[in-house]
Structure 1
Amino acid sequence: MAFMQIVDCKTRSYDDMNRLMDEWVEATEGKRTATHAVVGRDRSDSDHYVEIIEFPSYEEAMKNSDLPETNRIFEEMVALCEGEPVFTDLDVVRDEQLNKATARRFFEDIAVGGDLDLVDELFAADYHDHDIGKETDTAIGSGVVKDDVTRWRDAFDFHFALHGQLAEGDEVVTRWTWRGTHTGEFMGVAPTDRDVEMTGVTVFLFRDGRIQEGWWTYDLLRLARQLGAVRM
């Protein structure tokens, strides 16, 4: 079970505190078990800071606390605080990246499920699309998504296997394998009923909860070979 520790403190020496955190990151390289750290400042009290540190588990957090570098730098950080920091230990019982869920809905509900009405809900009206399979670098408009999904669904009976997703800031990266049966004309090739597959990566950029821009990288050459469109 993932574990998070919240450290609540007050200080007028945040620059020094920040320097100590940088020193800790450098000193514990290859040894620390913390995976993510966020520091926030209270908008109503500029001396009030909250740090949220994420670990794979409580046990890993304890290993991190036992590092000599952690103990040394922590003592220096406490000296910069007004009073003792307050610690809250949390077992994570729900962890949901909302943008990741929206990205999954494209693959599962729109591409495979064929729900084209959902495109206008998930994609910005001025969506920008970058696709290695197209001659132009950028296509604009949510209608592009509807046209692309229709074209692929007319040519293949397919599904996606989503292997993993990474979210950072407003971007979500999805790594996938696409498998389908060639049931309609594609790339000038008449239906072959062949089972085909390819791998790819999609990056979605979000704005105001909707997908604003997308980058598609996939093994189109492998697909063309399987269809007999090219021979190499």
Structure 2
Amino acid sequence: MTFVQLIECRTSRWDELDRLLDTWAERTGGQRSATHALVGRDRSDGAHVVELVEFPSYEEAMRTSNLPETDEVFRRMVALCDELPVFTDLEVVRDEQFSESAVRRFFGTLTAAGELSPLNDLVDEDCHSHDPVNPQDTIGLDAIRRECRMWRDAFDAVFTVEDVLTQGERACARWRWDAVHRGEFLGIAPTGRRVAMTGTTVFRRGPHGTFAELWWQRDHLGLMQQLGALDELEH
């Protein structure tokens, strides 16, 4: 379940605190699992500062809190405040805003180095993935992860998300995929070729805040042509 931490403090040294928040983001950028952070100042009391930080779960929030960088920044934050900050932990029970950051994180996770993430903080256990290239839908998180691993085994790749549009419980992403063909793919031996593909993906968010349904549209024919799979047919 999505988790939000509400942090309130009073400070007469806002500019220094603002720079400190930048430092915190820089030092924990590769480890911090926050999906959204918002900072506001009270219009009627400029010394009153409120920060809302969203995490995929309470466990992820605690992992970030236990980072050495977080402890150091907190001590520096206390020194800038007129009194001790107040923390309120909130379990999100209703969320009407589709998270663009979750969509972007999804694509980043698919091609991230190392072992493939469990994806359970992004994708429902019974998610349905629709792809016109496949004769049947891919159903369930385990099946989706198997398909992701197939692509990862075949290509060293990266997604570039060009646009994300959100409306209600749905979002649409336009993306570009750049890769090097390193492993067997649909019976095609590794070619070492650099290939690219463009496409769009539509997401539907489920009741738990994770993706319950995916619709893929991509230039699969163009990819096969780049891999040389159509050479014999063309002749």
TM-score tier, shorter chain, comes to 0.5 to 0.7
Tell me what 2:148 maps to. 149
Tell me what 2:123 maps to. 123
Does residue 195 (structure 1) correspond to residue 194 (structure 2)? The answer is yes
Report the alpha carbon displacement of residue 176 of structure 1 after superposing the two structures with TM.
Answer: 0.4
Does residue 224 (structure 1) correspond to residue 224 (structure 2)? The answer is yes
| Alpha-carbon RMSD | 1.5
Partner of 2:120: helix, strand, or coil? helix
CA contact (8 A) 1:110 1:118 kept: no
Give ranges in structure 1 of 5+ residues lacking alignment. 1-96
Report the alpha carbon displacement of residue 98 of structure 1 after superposing the two structures with TM.
Answer: 4.9
Partner of 2:190: helix, strand, or coil? coil
Partner of 1:146: helix, strand, or coil? helix
Does residue 162 (structure 1) correspond to residue 157 (structure 2)? The answer is no
In 2, the alpha carbon distance for the partners of 1:175 and 1:129 equals 17
CA contact (8 A) 2:203 2:215 kept: yes
Tell me what 1:210 maps to. 210
Report the alpha carbon displacement of residue 115 of structure 1 after superposing the two structures with TM.
Answer: 5.3
In 2, the alpha carbon distance for the partners of 1:189 and 1:147 equals 19
Give ranges in structure 2 of 5+ residues lacking alignment. 1-96
Structure 1 pair 98–171 and aligned structure 2 pair: CA distance change class (3 A): closer
Structure 1 pair 124–114 and aligned structure 2 pair: CA distance change class (3 A): farther
Partner of 1:128: helix, strand, or coil? strand
Report the alpha carbon displacement of residue 184 of structure 1 after superposing the two structures with TM.
Answer: 0.3
Larger Rg: 1 or 2?
A: 1
CA contact (8 A) 1:180 1:195 kept: yes
Tell me what 1:51 maps to. none
In 2, the alpha carbon distance for the partners of 1:220 and 1:185 equals 16
Partner of 1:190: helix, strand, or coil? coil
> Residue type of the partner of 2:101?
A
Structure 1 pair 176–230 and aligned structure 2 pair: CA distance change class (3 A): same
Partner of 2:191: helix, strand, or coil? coil
Structure 1 pair 190–223 and aligned structure 2 pair: CA distance change class (3 A): same
> Residue type of the partner of 2:108?
E
CA contact (8 A) 1:109 1:115 kept: no
In 2, the alpha carbon distance for the partners of 1:112 and 1:122 equals 15
> Residue type of the partner of 2:187?
G
Report the alpha carbon displacement of residue 105 of structure 1 after superposing the two structures with TM.
Answer: 1.1
Number of residue pairs aligned between Structure 1 and Structure 2: 135
In 1, the alpha carbon distance for the partners of 2:129 and 2:114 equals 19
Does residue 109 (structure 1) correspond to residue 109 (structure 2)? The answer is yes
Partner of 2:158: helix, strand, or coil? strand
CA contact (8 A) 2:181 2:193 kept: yes
Report the alpha carbon displacement of residue 117 of structure 1 after superposing the two structures with TM.
Answer: 3.5
TM-score where L is the length of structure 1:
0.55
Report the alpha carbon displacement of residue 100 of structure 1 after superposing the two structures with TM.
Answer: 1.4
In 2, the alpha carbon distance for the partners of 1:217 and 1:100 equals 19
Report the alpha carbon displacement of residue 139 of structure 1 after superposing the two structures with TM.
Answer: 2.0
In 2, the alpha carbon distance for the partners of 1:113 and 1:173 equals 25
Report the alpha carbon displacement of residue 135 of structure 1 after superposing the two structures with TM.
Answer: 1.6
CA contact (8 A) 1:206 1:213 kept: yes
Report the alpha carbon displacement of residue 113 of structure 1 after superposing the two structures with TM.
Answer: 4.0
Report the alpha carbon displacement of residue 114 of structure 1 after superposing the two structures with TM.
Answer: 5.3
CA-to-aligned-CA distance 1:20-79 (integer Å, 9 cap, x gap): xxxxxxxxxxxxxxxxxxxxxxxxxxxxxxxxxxxxxxxxxxxxxxxxxxxxxxxxxxxx
Tell me what 2:185 maps to. 186
Tell me what 1:99 maps to. 99
